[in-house]
């Protein structure tokens, strides 16, 4: 397990001192995070470093995962799609399955949740737990990782009363916030620069992965890493690839894994394979959840990173691409807008044609690929590494303990 | 002379109770009634937020006028406002309202933003904490500032203007107790056009300034 001090060479010692000084106000605080999967997806990745680092800073932090069956994850996928704007029907039987799964998890988790000083509930899957812990003594925070700017009415009508009971919410962007009767905070996610997925790799390891997947180092490689999910628009990426192939011999990598809480992935993957139609230059890779080094190598050997989402909470794969010094072609939505700045770190696009045009520009201006890569990496260093993320959680927790005012003087 | 106590601060941003604004008229109404902390945040605390450095705009109001409403004239008029020229933030609010009302009177149609480009009013809580580091003499300012976080730079140089009696920075206040080099430094500090600098740029400028006048030293 890494220590926070190992990040000193990346962010500097003053940033780490800052975390320790803030955390002095939180020693012994009992903090519990609850989500719905231990592996796969950005939330699990964030929690896998956040819990140990909170612990290292003197906080009694733990991570609980709710257990559900297929009907439960079908409902929560409906929530997810509905919050992201798909018109979905929410049936009474689905609501019953959702509440029943939360009820059975509450039997197991109630003692730890009711005893905690602060509980962070990630996304809607475990949100009903709040109503099943009547003797809770701490503050409960709903952390929304989803682009919930235009939720389907049916889903929001059910979820809103559940969420109103929380003491506060956290969103990645103001645009995702909702009308709720409690304080709403803004915290953008982040990446761990020393994780297997983001750490520096030796050139021979990158070359091995490139060879393993039959990628030609002499031709441009375009890569989108993400779950096989409609909102990531993998079919749109393939359409864009076909347009680019008219003028450049590019190769496309669509790499992703499934998440335990995503039952739609298999169907999306089937249709993506159909769209690829045995084109040898389209590499569709279904990777296991622990294939972090492979993803790292694939991103590092890419010429351009794509994240052509049509809805996106934040887009950690964008952050990963920028950290590896690659320009990113991103969908003009959600948190991608925070990271992809036209002509600085990449380009925002709205269609396969837009993707084609911007990649064509980059392939014809190789110096821009390098300049954007340098800017993107520094942008991430300043803003989207885990130290900033941790600092904002600590600041929020100090505020939750002390009461929010425009200015709080922390204890010495 | 007592040593300079190095403090640090961290920010947590929240959504204000105000509804978002979708057009210039709504924006004017919201600016008139939003909290003064919200005005402060959109003009002064922007430098501490995790966003891409926008060399064109230094306050959120000007940025939205350009990127949301696509009103270039309004954006330029708002951008020229320097919040640190106002000792009372209510006067800054009045100046913003004057500009917005002038613009509304000039236009025959109200500029609108797209639905996904509304203006959200924010405010923030700043948690201030002691680093337990001190600076004993002006000679040690340069090296000490070079090791500071951007939070410390913000607290001692920007945020200080909201709380010090002379609406100046903490270094100037502290250097008033030192003759000679202190006076030179105070004079040099007063000439920094800090509002148009990123915090890292300001940090480098301060280090150069302190080092040029006093040379090197070390924090205790």
CB B126 within 8 A of CB B11: yes
Nearest neighbour of B10 by CB, restricted to A186, A391, A406: A391
Query: Which chain A residue has the Cα nearest residue B118?
Result: A175
CA dist A110 and A156 (Å) reads 26
CA dist A239 and A356 (Å) reads 9
B38 touches chain A (CB under 8 A): no
Q: Are strands A346-349 and A304-307 parallel, antiparallel or unpaired?
A: unpaired
The list of chain B residues with pLDDT below 50 reads: 218-220
Q: Are residues A111 and A137 in the same domain?
A: yes
Q: Are residues A11 and A157 in the same domain?
A: yes
Q: Are residues A164 and A216 in the same domain?
A: no
| Ramachandran class of A317: left when φ > 0, alpha when ψ lies in -120 to 50, beta otherwise | alpha
Q: Are residues A148 and A244 in the same domain?
A: no
| CA-based nearest residue to A262, from A48, A104, A81 | A81
CB contact under 8 A, B116 and A188: no
| Contact partners, residue B34, CB within 8 Å, separation at least 6 | B16, B18, B121
DSSP A150: S
Edge-to-edge strand order for the sheet containing A282-286?
A282-286, A251-256, A221-225, A304-307, A328-331, A346-349
Q: pLDDT value at position B198?
A: 87
- Give bridge partners of residue A61 from the DSSP assignment: A31
Best residue in B11, B47, B52, B121 for a mutation probing chain A (most A CBs within 10 Å)? B52
Q: Are residues A183 and A218 in the same domain?
A: no
B126 touches chain A (CB under 8 A): yes
CA dist B14 and B9 (Å) reads 16
What does A103-140 look like in DSSP terms, one character per residue? Answer: HHHHHHHHHHHHH-SEEEEESSTTGGGGGG-TT--SEE
Whose tokens are 């919201």? That residue is: B30
CB B38 within 8 A of CB A207: no
Domain count, chain A: 2
Angle at the Cα of B216 from the Cα atoms of B213 and B217, rounded to 5 degrees: 120
- Residue A200, both tokens: 């520096």
Nearest neighbour of B149 by CB, restricted to A14, A384, A394: A14
Q: Are residues A394 and A370 in the same domain?
A: no
| Contact partners, residue A93, CB within 8 Å, separation at least 6 | none
CB contact under 8 A, B129 and A396: no
Q: pLDDT value at position B215?
A: 66
| CA-based nearest residue to A22, from A385, A383, A398 | A398
CB contact under 8 A, A186 and B8: no
**Phi, psi of A155, rounded to the nearest 5 degrees:** -75, -45
CB contact under 8 A, A14 and B147: yes
Residues in chain A within 8 Å Cβ distance of B51: 338, 383
- Stated as kind and residue range, the H or E segment containing B126 is strand B122-135
Residues in chain A within 8 Å Cβ distance of B118: 175
Q: What is the mean pLDDT of chain B?
A: 91
A85 touches chain B (CB under 8 A): no
DSSP B157: I
CA dist A336 and B141 (Å) reads 40
Range of the domain at A333: 203-383
Q: Are residues A164 and A211 in the same domain?
A: no
CB A55 within 8 A of CB A23: no
CB B122 within 8 A of CB B12: no
CA distance A193 to chain B (A): 17
B148 touches chain A (CB under 8 A): yes
CA dist B175 and B136 (Å) reads 11
Residues in chain B within 8 Å Cβ distance of A174: 15, 20, 120, 122
Q: Are residues A262 and A291 in the same domain?
A: yes
Domain membership flag for residue A90: yes
Sign for the pseudo-dihedral over CA of A158, A164, A166, A171: positive
| Contact partners, residue B25, CB within 8 Å, separation at least 6 | B104, B110
Query: Which chain A residue has the Cα nearest residue B198?
Result: A382
* Distance (Å) of CA B129 to CA A210, A258, A389, B35: 48, 43, 18, 25
CB A227 within 8 A of CB A285: no
CA distance B8 to chain A (A): 7
CA dist B122 and A70 (Å) reads 40
CA atoms within 13 A on the CB side of A51: 18
CA dist A21 and A42 (Å) reads 28
Q: Are residues A248 and A338 in the same domain?
A: yes
CA dist A367 and B112 (Å) reads 38
Residues in chain A within 8 Å Cβ distance of B11: 392, 395
Per-residue pLDDT of chain A (412 residues; tens, 9 = 90+): 789 999 999 999 989 999 999 999 999 999 999 999 888 777 898 999 999 999 999 999 999 999 999 999 999 989 998 998 888 989 999 999 999 999 999 999 999 999 999 999 999 999 999 999 999 999 999 999 988 888 999 999 999 999 999 999 999 989 888 889 999 999 999 999 999 999 999 999 999 999 999 999 999 999 999 989 899 999 999 999 999 999 999 999 999 976 655 677 888 999 999 999 989 999 999 999 889 999 999 999 999 999 999 988 889 999 999 999 999 999 998 889 989 999 999 999 999 999 999 999 999 999 999 999 999 999 999 899 999 999 999 999 999 998 878 888 876 5
Q: Are residues A294 and A309 in the same domain?
A: yes
Q: pLDDT value at position A261?
A: 59
Query: Which chain A residue has the Cα nearest residue B14?
Result: A185
Domain membership flag for residue A284: yes
Nearest neighbour of B128 by CB, restricted to A24, A391, A409: A409
Q: Are strands B122-135 and B4-15 parallel, antiparallel or unpaired?
A: antiparallel
Nearest neighbour of A395 by CB, restricted to B10, B37, B118: B10
CB B9 within 8 A of CB B128: yes
CB contact under 8 A, A410 and B127: yes
Q: Domain holding A17: CATH number?
A: 3.40.50.2000
Q: pLDDT value at position B218?
A: 45
CA dist A363 and A356 (Å) reads 10
Residues in chain A within 8 Å Cβ distance of B52: 338, 341, 344-345, 379, 383
What does A266-332 look like in DSSP terms, one character per residue? Answer: HHHHHHHHHHHTT-TTEEEEE--TT-HHHHHHHHHT-SEEEE--SS-S--HHHHHHHHTT--EEEES
Q: pLDDT value at position B17?
A: 85
A55 touches chain B (CB under 8 A): no
CA dist B118 and A155 (Å) reads 23
Residues in chain B within 8 Å Cβ distance of A336: none
Q: What is the pLDDT of residues B4-33, one digit of tens each?
A: 999 999 999 999 988 999 999 999 999 999
- Residue A364, both tokens: 């014809």
CB contact under 8 A, B15 and A177: yes
C-beta neighbour count of B166 within 10 angstroms: 11
Q: CB burial class (10 A; 0-12, 13-18, 19+) of residue A289?
A: middle
A396 touches chain B (CB under 8 A): yes
Whose tokens are 């905070």? That residue is: A185
B188 touches chain A (CB under 8 A): no
CA dist A365 and A347 (Å) reads 14
CB contact under 8 A, A344 and B40: no
B179 touches chain A (CB under 8 A): no
A-to-B residue pairs, Cβ atoms closer than 8 angstroms: 103
């Amino acid at each position: 397990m890494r220590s926070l001090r190992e990040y000193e060479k990346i962010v500097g010692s003053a940033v780490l001192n800052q975390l320790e000084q803030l955390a002095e106000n939180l020693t012994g605080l009992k903090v519990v995070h609850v989500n719905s999967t231990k592996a796969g997806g950005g939330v699990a990745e964030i929690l896998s470093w956040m819990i140990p680092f909170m612990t290292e800073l003197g906080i009694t932090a733990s991570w609980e995962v709710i257990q559900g069956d297929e009907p439960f994850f079908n409902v929560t996928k409906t929530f997810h799609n509905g919050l992201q704007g798909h018109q979905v029907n929410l049936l009474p039987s689905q609501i019953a399955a959702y509440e029943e799964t939360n009820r059975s998890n509450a039997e197991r988790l109630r003692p730890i949740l009711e005893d905690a000083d602060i509980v962070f509930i990630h996304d809607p899957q475990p949100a009903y737990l709040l109503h099943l812990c009547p003797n809770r003594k701490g503050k409960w925070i709903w952390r929304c990782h989803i682009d919930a700017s235009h939720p389907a009415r049916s889903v929001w009508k059910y979820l809103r009363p559940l969420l109103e009971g929380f003491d506060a919410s956290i969103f990645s962007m103001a645009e995702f916030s909702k009308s709720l009767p409690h304080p709403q905070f803004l915290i953008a996610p982040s990446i761990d620069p020393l994780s297997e997925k983001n750490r520096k790799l030796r050139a021979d390891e990158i070359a091995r992965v490139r060879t393993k997947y039959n990628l030609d180092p002499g031709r441009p490689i375009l890569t989108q890493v993400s779950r096989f999910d409609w909102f990531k628009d993998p079919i749109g990426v393939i359409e864009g690839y076909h347009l680019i192939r008219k003028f450049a011999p590019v190769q496309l990598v669509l790499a992703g894994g499934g998440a335990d809480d995503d039952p739609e992935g298999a169907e999306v993957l089937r249709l993506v394979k159909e769209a690829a139609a045995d084109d040898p230059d389209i590499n569709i890779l279904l990777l296991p959840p622990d294939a972090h080094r492979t993803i790292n190598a694939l991103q590092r050997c890419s010429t351009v990173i794509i994240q052509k989402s049509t809805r996106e909470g934040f887009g950690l794969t964008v952050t990963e691409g920028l950290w590896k010094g690659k320009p990113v072609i991103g969908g003009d939505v959600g948190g991608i807008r925070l990271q992809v700045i036209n002509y600085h770190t990449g380009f925002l696009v709205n269609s396969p044609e837009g993707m084609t045009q911007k990649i064509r520009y980059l392939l014809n201006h190789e110096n821009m690929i390098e300049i954007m890569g340098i800017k993107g990496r520094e942008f991430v260093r300043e803003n989207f590494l885990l130290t900033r993320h941790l600092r904002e959680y600590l600041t929020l927790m100090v505020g939750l303990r002390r009461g929010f005012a425009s200015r709080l003087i922390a204890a010495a | 002379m007592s040593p300079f106590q190095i403090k640090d601060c961290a920010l947590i941003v929240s959504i204000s109770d105000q509804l978002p604004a979708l057009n210039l008229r709504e924006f004017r109404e919201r600016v008139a009634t939003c909290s003064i902390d919200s005005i402060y945040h959109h003009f002064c605390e922007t430098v501490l937020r995790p966003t891409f450095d926008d060399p064109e705009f230094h306050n959120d109001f000007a940025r939205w006028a350009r990127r949301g409403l696509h009103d270039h004239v309004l954006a330029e008029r708002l951008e020229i406002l320097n919040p640190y020229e106002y000792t009372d933030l209510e006067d800054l609010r009045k100046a913003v309202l004057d500009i917005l009302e002038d613009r509304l009177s000039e236009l025959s149609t109200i500029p609108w933003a797209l639905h996904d480009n509304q203006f959200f009013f924010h405010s923030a809580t700043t948690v201030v904490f002691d680093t337990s580091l001190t600076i004993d003499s002006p000679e040690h300012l340069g090296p000490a500032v070079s090791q500071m976080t951007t939070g410390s730079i913000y607290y001692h140089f920007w945020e200080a203007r909201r709380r010090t009696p002379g609406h100046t920075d903490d270094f100037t206040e502290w250097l008033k107790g030192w003759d000679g080099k202190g006076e030179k430094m105070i004079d040099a500090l007063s000439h920094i056009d800090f509002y148009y600098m990123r915090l890292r740029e300001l940090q480098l400028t301060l280090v150069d300034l302190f080092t040029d006048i006093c040379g090197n030293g070390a924090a205790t």
